[in-house]
Chains A and B, each alone.
Chain A
Amino acid sequence: MNDWINASVLIAHDIGLHARPSVKFTKLAKGFSSEIEIASALGGPWFDAKSIVRVMAIKAGTGSTLHLRARGSDAGAAIATLSGFVASDFDKDRAYAASD
């Protein structure tokens, strides 16, 4: 039985988790096989981080904390990648129109 790996990240970006980063976040999450969930409060409710509809609905604003948890074979890498993405101001809002 796998335990959850957790992380909490402060959203410093001045618009918050807006539309483009939400898509990018979901795309990053889909790259991992682990179960990954996201919440705006530690007590939940927790939502599937690979669901664009759920991630978009979180509407986490500036100064709020995003909670992440993952379990599975690549859970550690998933949490590192996703919390790093949020902590880096969504990669400084670089163009998300990735060629892949």
Chain B
Amino acid sequence: MNKKVGIVIVSHSPDIAKGTADMVRNMVGSAVPLAYCGGNPDGGLGTSIEKILAAIDEAWSDRGVAVLVDLGGAETNSEMAVEMLPEARRGKVVVCNAPIVEGAVMAATEAWGGASLEEVKRTAEELSPQ
């Protein structure tokens, strides 16, 4: 069982998803389960529920998984992916209302410290202007 909350990055752009994941790996390290996906099944800009489900599976932690998204469809498709999860996992995945790059770095830093899923989500969402 992994002791740290996992992080999933979902962008319309595969490049942004990968770049964001690179930043998390570089700044926070590899101790936090991390997966990313971007692009629609045809390789264009967009998101795909299947890819999101695969990313959630890849970053799975029994402590939960926090999903960081960019715009519109990334959020709705991520929410649909969560609904399609097996019931036992559904309650352990949350979509964060946070900017994707900043939110991913902040969430991963908090997850690295062993925080709960709720704390990780709160940290990512704490970013709104003060």
Contact = CB atoms under 8 A, between A and B. Distances in A.
Given A27-B112, A30-B113, A50-B113, A100 B127 contact: no
Contacts of B93: none
Contact of B26 (A30, A57, A96): A96
A1 interface: no
Contacts of A19: 27, 105
Q: How big is chain B's contact interface, by range?
A: 10 to 19
A15 B28 CA distance: 19
A100 B106 contact: no
Contacts of B109: 23, 26-27, 52
B123 A97 contact: no
A2 interface: no
A52 B55 CA distance: 25
Contacts of B27: 19-20, 23-24, 96-97
Given A27-B112, A51-B123, A53-B123, A100 B26 contact: no
Interface in A4-35: 19-20, 23-24, 26-27, 30
A25 B31 CA distance: 17
A97 B29 contact: yes
Interface string B49-78: 000000000000000000000000000000
B30 to A, nearest CB: 6
Contacts of B127: 53
Given A30-B113, A52-B109, A23 B28 contact: yes
Interface of B: 25-31, 105-106, 109-110, 112-113, 123, 126-127, 130
Interface of A: 19-20, 23-24, 26-27, 30, 50-53, 56-57, 95-100
Given A27-B113, A97-B29, A100-B29, 17 more contacts: A20-B26, A20-B27, A23-B28, A23-B105, A26-B109, A26-B113, A27-B28, A27-B109, A51-B126, A52-B105, A52-B110, A53-B106, A53-B123, A96-B26, A97-B26, A99-B31, A100-B31
3 shortest interchain CB distances as A-B pairs? A30-B113, A52-B109, A23-B27
